[in-house]
């Protein structure tokens, strides 16, 4: 066995945190358990305990013969070429209320989709989905909640044309700052059943990186929105 190349090891309060960044698995081990794990990895003759089987199930450790990169490509291709589902990633706006120093958007034009473009986007989606296919839309940005009108417009056109696909689901990748309960209810009514919200560590670390355009921290409000 070997530690997955995607497992990050960090000491936290004298315990060992193992995090697999592909499968989002998190396990906290005592120093002694981690020591046993290292011995197990380095010695093929040691017995696989219940804990090590669990770590394997969580992909924290993997068999030596597994090529993890090839496995990732295979899973990605399986999703990409799955004929029963078609996925569209849509940025209703490139605008954002945050000013993260590492943002890939630096230098991009921060345009928001017009009503006309929203209508054409919905028509494009409906033209490219088949009646037997599941339709998935991922709302992305910029901060997609700053383009809520386009999310509404596109979702409503899709939902009015339900005969053109088998079922419709959506996800959103958001910074979470505008995700009030009312907005969450609205998104739910537009079939958004999964939200990926970014917190960059604890409040001090998060607020030093993910601040509003006026420099104000955002951690407290995001936490209030999602708990």
Token pair of 203 as six digits? 């409040």
Sort strands 25-29 and 167-174 into parallel, antiparallel or unpaired. Answer: unpaired
CB 95 within 8 A of CB 110: yes
Residue 58 or 99: the one with the smaller Cβ distance to ligand SF4 is: 99
Smallest distance from the beta carbon of 184 to ligand SF4, in angstroms?
18
Task: Annotate each residue in 11-50 with x if it binds ligand SF4 (CB under 6 A) or - if it does not, as one string.
Answer: ----------------------------------------
Token pair of 159 as six digits? 């939902």
Residue 99 or 112: the one with the smaller Cβ distance to ligand SF4 is: 99
Which of 143, 155, 206, 207 is close enough to bind ligand SF4 by CB under 6 A? 143
Does position 98 interact with ligand SF4 (CB under 6 A)? The reply is yes
Does position 175 interact with ligand SF4 (CB under 6 A)? The reply is yes
Smallest distance from the beta carbon of 105 to ligand SF4, in angstroms?
5
Q: Would you list the DSSP string of 90-108? A: E-SBS--SB--TT-TTTTS
Does position 92 interact with ligand SF4 (CB under 6 A)? The reply is no
Instruction: Of 151, 140, 145, give the one whose Cα is nearest residue 173.
Output: 140
Among left, alpha and beta (phi > 0; psi -120 to 50; other), residue 201 is left
Smallest distance from the beta carbon of 142 to ligand SF4, in angstroms?
5
Q: Which helix (H) or strand (E) holds 219?
A: helix 219-226
Does position 103 interact with ligand SF4 (CB under 6 A)? The reply is yes
Which of 27, 62, 96, 125 is close enough to bind ligand SF4 by CB under 6 A? 96
Helix (H, G, I), strand (E, B) or coil at 120: helix
Helix (H, G, I), strand (E, B) or coil at 166: coil
Does position 142 interact with ligand SF4 (CB under 6 A)? The reply is yes
What's the residue count for the chain?
227
CB hemisphere CA count around 212 (13 angstroms): 10
Residue 99 or 133: the one with the smaller Cβ distance to ligand SF4 is: 99
CB under 6 A: which stretch of 33-41, 97-105, 110-118, 164-172 binds ligand SF4? 97-105
21 secondary structure, DSSP code: T
Does position 100 interact with ligand SF4 (CB under 6 A)? The reply is yes
Smallest distance from the beta carbon of 22 to ligand SF4, in angstroms?
21
81 secondary structure, DSSP code: T
Smallest distance from the beta carbon of 208 to ligand SF4, in angstroms?
13
Q: Interface residues with ligand SF4 (CB under 6 A)?
A: 96, 98-100, 103, 105, 141-143, 175, 210
């Amino acid at each position: 066995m070997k530690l997955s190349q995607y497992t990050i090891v960090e000491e936290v309060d004298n315990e060992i945190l193992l995090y697999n960044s592909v499968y989002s698995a998190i396990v906290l081990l005592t120093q002694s358990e981690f020591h046993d794990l290292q011995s197990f990895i380095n010695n093929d003759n040691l017995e696989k305990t219940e804990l090590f089987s669990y770590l394997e199930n969580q992909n924290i450790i993997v068999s030596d013969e597994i090529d993890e990169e090839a496995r990732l490509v295979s899973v990605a291709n399986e999703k990409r070429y799955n004929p029963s589902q078609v996925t569209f990633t849509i940025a209703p706006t490139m605008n954002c209320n945050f000013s993260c120093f590492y943002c890939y958007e630096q230098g991009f034009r921060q345009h928001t989709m017009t009503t006309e473009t929203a209508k054409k986007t919905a028509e494009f989606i409906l033209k490219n989905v088949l009646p037997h296919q599941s339709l998935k839309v991922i709302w992305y940005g910029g901060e997609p909640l700053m383009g809520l009108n386009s999310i509404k417009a596109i979702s409503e056109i899709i939902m009015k044309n339900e005969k053109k696909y088998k079922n419709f689901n959506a996800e959103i990748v958001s910074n979470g700052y505008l995700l009030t309960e009312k907005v969450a209810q609205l998104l739910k009514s537009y079939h958004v059943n999964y939200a990926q919200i970014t917190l960059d560590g604890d409040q001090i670390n998060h607020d030093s990186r993910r601040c509003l355009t006026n420099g104000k921290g955002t951690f407290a409000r995001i936490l209030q929105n999602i708990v």
